[in-house]
Every structure is written in C-alpha cells, then in structure tokens.
Amino acid sequence: MELFAVRNPGPMTTVQDLGRLAFLDRGVPLSGALDPFACRVANLLVGNPEDAAVLEITVMGPTIEVLTPADIALTGADMGMTINQAPIRAWRTVRANPGEVIRIPRAASGCRAYLAVTGGIDVPLMMGSRSTFVRAKIGGVQGRGLIKGDILHRRAGSLLTRPRELPDEWIPRYAREIALRAVPGPQDDAFREGIDAFFGASYEVTQQADRMGCRLRGPAVHRDGESPESIVTEPTMPGNVQVPADGQPIILLVEQTSGGYAKIATVITADLPNVAQAMPGNIVLFERVTLEDAHRLYREQQKHLQQIREHLKRVYGL
Amino acid sequence: MAAILYKQARFRLSGDRALLVEYGDGIDPVINEKVRAMTTLLKRNLPAGVEAVVPAYRSLSIIYDPLATTPGRLAEILHALEADSRAAEIAKAKVVPIPVCYGGEFGPDIGVVAEHTGLREDEIVVIHIAVDYPIYMIGFTPGFCYLGGLDRRLQMPRRKTPRTNLPAGSVGVAESQTGMYPVDSPGGWQIIGRTPLRLFAPARENPFLYEAGDRIRFVPIAEAEFRRLREKEWS
C-alpha cells in the first residue's frame, strides 16, 4: 500500500535491510545497513522482523508526506525529526497519519539514521535482499537513492496497540572522538614497524566517506621496506583497514568485495556501527584487541540485542 | 619469478568473522586450480557456522559466524579436506562461449591497440579468440572476471584517461589482463569489442552466466548477429 510521498529526498537516502551474502563470490557486495544494530532496533520498535527493509538516511534527511497510517521509528544518528513541526524523539515509535509531513533535518550527532515502518518498506526482493546497491543499480527503489516524487509502499503489518520505546540507558551516544577496536591483520606482517604507530595515532574522518569506505587523514602508516606496494587481489571484509601507497588508512565497508592493497588491521564487528556513525571531521583512534576479545565483544553485543528483544516482549508483548 | 604452491595452506585473520586461506604466493594456474578444488570441496560439505566461501586468485575467504565456529576449527577442517584425495578430482572446467562483435563502434580502441602492437585488426581478433581464458576470480563489480592467459602480443598499457561510462558488455585489454565490463561503469581498459549478452541480469533466475573456475571462450560475431542477440537479451 502507498505509504510515503517523497517531497525532498535528502542527499543520500536508500532502502536497506541486512544485506546479501549469497553472491559475494560473483562480485556482488554485502550491502545492507551500515549500522545493523540501529536497523534491527528500529524494526523491533515497530514490530517487524529485524531484517525488514528500512530507510538509511545519511547526514541530512528527507521530507515525506504520509499517505497511509503506519507506526514509524527513527534510530541511529540524532536528526531532530518532526511530524507537522512537532518534535518527535528518536528510538521510539510514533503513529504517522495520512496528510502529516515528516521532516528529518540534519544529524546533530552520528551520521546515519534508520527509519523503520510497519511491515517494512515494500520493494522487490532482488538476489535475496531489498538492499540498494547503487553502482550496479540493484535493490531498493529502481537501484538508486530516493528522488523527489517517489511514492514508497509498505508491506502488510499490524499497527501497534501502544507506542514502544528503547530504555534511555540503551540508546547509543555518538561521540566526536571514536575508539575503534581492531584485530591486527590480514597483512599486519607488512607493517611490523608501522603497526605500533598506527595503534597509537589519531585520525580524522575525511569527506570521502561513503558505503564503500571511510578515508582517514593523519600520520602516514609505513609499510616495512621490503614489503611490496600491492598484494595479489583478494576478498575484503567490512572493517578491513587498507593502507594505500600514501599511507592514509581507509576503512573498507559494505560495498567493497575485493582489493589489492595490504590491510594492517580490521575493525571488530561489534564496533562497525561506530564507523557508520562517524561524521567527517570526527576523530578515530584504533585500539588493538585479540581475536578472542573480538569474539567475546561480539557475543556481548548479541546478548545485548537479545536483552532488547526480551525487554520489548515483556513490556509490550509481541 | 614463478609463483610457488605452498606445501601447506597459510592462514590470515581478516577480522573476527573471516579467515583468509592462502595456497600460493602469486597468480598461477596451478595455485588457482587448488583454490578452486578447495572451494568446491568446502561448498559440497559446508562446515557448521560457515556463511560464505569466496575464491580469489591464490586464496579463499571463509566468512563464518563467530557464535558457531572458530578459525582454529575451520583450519582443522581444511587440513582434513586437503588430505582427502578428492581434492584432485574436481570436475573439468565449464567453457562459457561469449559472442563478441570486434572493432567499429563496439571496439573504439582496436585501432590504438593495432598501432601499439603492430598487428592488423583481424590479427588482434584471431589472437584474442585463440584461447579459453580461465576465470581466476570475480570481484570489483558484479560479474567482473579477472581472467588469465592473455597472449603477450596483445599486452599494452591502460588508457591514460579512463572513460567515464563504458557500456555493459564492453570487452577490453590492459597490461596482462583481458575482460568484460558486466555493468555500465567507468574504466581505463582498451576496448576492442562488445558482447550482446547480459552478463549480469539481477532479475534472471541465475543472474550470472559463469563462476570462478569456468573458462571464457570469445566467439567473433558480425554486427547483424550482435543486434539480433542484443534485442533478444535486453528487451
């Protein structure tokens, strides 16, 4: 059913879900929400499966006219959403009614917000996912970001009997200085001398930060003298910190499948949402952890999600 | 210097949910064959907790669920698989014919290639179609093949200024590589022809015509045949 009419799309608003794993061996990147935690919680708040399609909103948000009643929830970056000019808090549900106008102005902290709607955004499932991958024009709305005049549909789903909210203490705070924990490798052996400097330095997030990668600026990371400038092209993972010839690190993200530069370290899965929320100008510091630490932190994050699911079930019934 | 096939696989951590497994130190048909054999064996009997297996030139990446397995356990499984004699009995590579209309509006750089190599345009075509090219890996964009086996006589530098928008199906050469652009994209390769086939059709039941390990056979076609096939594939 027709849900939203897009009056103003914002610079980069796309439909995303939790991405596609099935065609990585054919050069199709994972795609999906850059901050899967915020995406999952947004869906839980409106009573959806966690992998329902949401809008991923980057830095500045859209202006949308509501066509059908729906429960909506905005999570992730704090963007100061209003409905008919009344401020609406993030990380909770609100009923949107036909004729109302939703405005999502601009991120005050964080970089990407997620808007979930009852039933999920209705776009065709393509290669196992609804995620937009603009470079290959697949998924989402005709394989592109939203444009003015788009009519978005939602899938069938029941409206809530009362609004839900995430307890305050569980709402992530996005700082301007971001500590990212990382496991050395896969090519840490090419940086035997450079790696200590890398883990001690601070880097600024540049304007060149998109879904493919986040370029940093700071002290150059030096490869060992005998290590070649490039490696044999190999598959990459979100979180890989690639070091090109100029020594300025790039954190690879969900729209990259392979690369030929050495990667000094890899941001742990539990901290990838913090990369998604880093704004140009923010400061990033890398902290070395072991694989065992990374797996423990991943389990803790999964437990926290489970805690949120159980809390919502207990308080609101699901 | 010839690439070396490792006696035993080497492992690298690519973060907390992917394990890179290397079988040799360079780009080489024997090493890639090993990658292909191990990928096939793994996919035939997917170990618990494995979410994806992605083969590359000389390595493969195993993406796993950290709640269900560990790199240590995966390494043990891989060593056991390697000891298994079936690793040698991987089915023969599938040959995938790709019709290509060479030169003219479809291959705008064929004149430049002729000038650089000293070959006539028809000689370029004969050399380019003479071998079946192994797909070493697929990456960069959906369906983009890294092919081996380009004849030395066709090797030449990339364009100084990359084109901003190459049509899907463009076939080109650059340095020791040849390949096809499956989607409209910018690119710096010297374009010598174009295939009318849809190399990446996301809504088709199988969106791709090939996988890593297959061989690509370029088959020359005339312009009329190009237009007929193009109409059939893209309408």
Over pLDDT 70: what percentage of chain B? 97
| Residue A74: band (very low, low, confident or very high) from pLDDT cuts 50, 70, 90 | very high
- SS3 state of residue B73: helix
Is residue A114 within 8 Å of residue A39, measured between CB atoms?
yes
Cα B59–chain centre separation: 14
Bridge partners, residue A114, by sequence: A56, A75
Q: What's the pLDDT at B235?
A: 83
Which position has the higher pLDDT, B169 or B81?
A: B169
- Select from A257, A297, A301 the residue whose CB has the most chain B CBs within 10 Å, as the one to mutate to test that interface: A257
Length of chain A: 318
Give the count of Cβ contacts less than 8 A between chain A and B: 132
Q: Please tell me if residue B55 touches chain A, with a CB cutoff of 8 Å.
A: yes
Give contacts of B137 with chain A, Cβ < 8 Å: 233, 258
Supply the DSSP string of B9-50, one letter for each residue.
EEEEE-SSSEEEEEEESS--HHHHHHHHHHHHHHHHTPPTTE
Q: Please tell me if residue B224 touches chain A, with a CB cutoff of 8 Å.
A: no
Q: Write out pLDDT tens, residues B146-199.
A: 999 999 999 999 888 888 889 999 999 998 889 999 999 888 899 999 999 999
Q: Write out pLDDT tens, residues A28-47.
A: 999 999 999 999 999 999 99
Query: CB B200 to CB A233 under 8 A?
Result: no
Q: Write out pLDDT tens, residues A98-150.
A: 999 999 999 999 999 999 999 999 999 999 999 999 999 999 999 999 999 99
Q: Write out pLDDT tens, residues A283-310.
A: 999 999 999 999 999 999 999 999 999 9
Query: CB A269 to CB B207 under 8 A?
Result: no
Q: Cα separation of B206 and B143, whole Å?
A: 12
Whole-complex ipTM: 0.95
Query: CB B15 to CB A25 under 8 A?
Result: no
Is residue A264 within 8 Å of residue A195, measured between CB atoms?
yes
| Residue A228: band (very low, low, confident or very high) from pLDDT cuts 50, 70, 90 | confident
Nearest-Cα distance to chain B for A110, in Å, is: 24
Which of B:32-51 have CB within 8 Å of A? 39, 51
| Residue B89: band (very low, low, confident or very high) from pLDDT cuts 50, 70, 90 | low
Q: Please tell me if residue B187 touches chain A, with a CB cutoff of 8 Å.
A: no
Query: CB A234 to CB B56 under 8 A?
Result: yes
Q: Cα separation of B87 and B78, whole Å?
A: 11
| Residue A318: band (very low, low, confident or very high) from pLDDT cuts 50, 70, 90 | low
- Select from A232, A237, A288, A297 the residue whose CB has the most chain B CBs within 10 Å, as the one to mutate to test that interface: A232
Length of chain B: 235
Q: What's the pLDDT at A213?
A: 96
Query: CB A138 to CB B54 under 8 A?
Result: no
Is residue B135 within 8 Å of residue B213, measured between CB atoms?
yes
Q: Cα separation of A26 and B142, whole Å?
A: 6
Task: Over range A78-89, report the average pLDDT.
Answer: 96
Q: Write out pLDDT tens, residues B94-141.
A: 999 999 999 999 999 999 999 999 999 999 999 999 999 999 999 989
Query: CB B56 to CB A232 under 8 A?
Result: yes
- Select from B13, B14, B16, B28 the residue whose CB has the most chain A CBs within 10 Å, as the one to mutate to test that interface: B16
pLDDT at A239 over 90: yes
Q: Which of B12, B52, B141 has its CB closest to that of A24?
A: B52
Which of B:79-138 have CB within 8 Å of A? 137-138
**Strands B95-102 and B190-194, sheet pairing:** antiparallel
Q: Cα separation of A54 and B63, whole Å?
A: 25
Query: CB B54 to CB A263 under 8 A?
Result: no
Q: Which of B52, B56, B66 has its CB closest to that of A21?
A: B52
Q: What's the pLDDT at B91?
A: 66
Q: What's the pLDDT at A38?
A: 98
Task: Over range B37-61, report the average pLDDT.
Answer: 95
Give contacts of B202 with chain A, Cβ < 8 Å: 126-127, 136, 138
Query: CB A27 to CB B185 under 8 A?
Result: no
3-state SS track over B129-144: HCCCEEEEEECCCCCC
Is residue A262 within 8 Å of residue A187, measured between CB atoms?
yes
Q: Please tell me if residue B142 touches chain A, with a CB cutoff of 8 Å.
A: yes
Q: Write out pLDDT tens, residues A145-184.
A: 999 999 999 999 999 999 999 999 999 999 999 999 999 9
Element housing B97 (H / E) = strand B95-102
- Select from A127, A237, A240, A287 the residue whose CB has the most chain B CBs within 10 Å, as the one to mutate to test that interface: A237
The segment(s) of chain A belonging to CATH 2.40.100.10 are 177-296
Average pLDDT, chain A: 96
How is domain A177-296 classified at the architecture level of CATH? Answer: Beta Barrel (2.40)
Task: Over range A266-276, report the average pLDDT.
Answer: 98
Q: Which of A21, A183, A291 has its CB closest to that of B51?
A: A21
Per the structure block, which two tokens stand in for A261?
């530069």
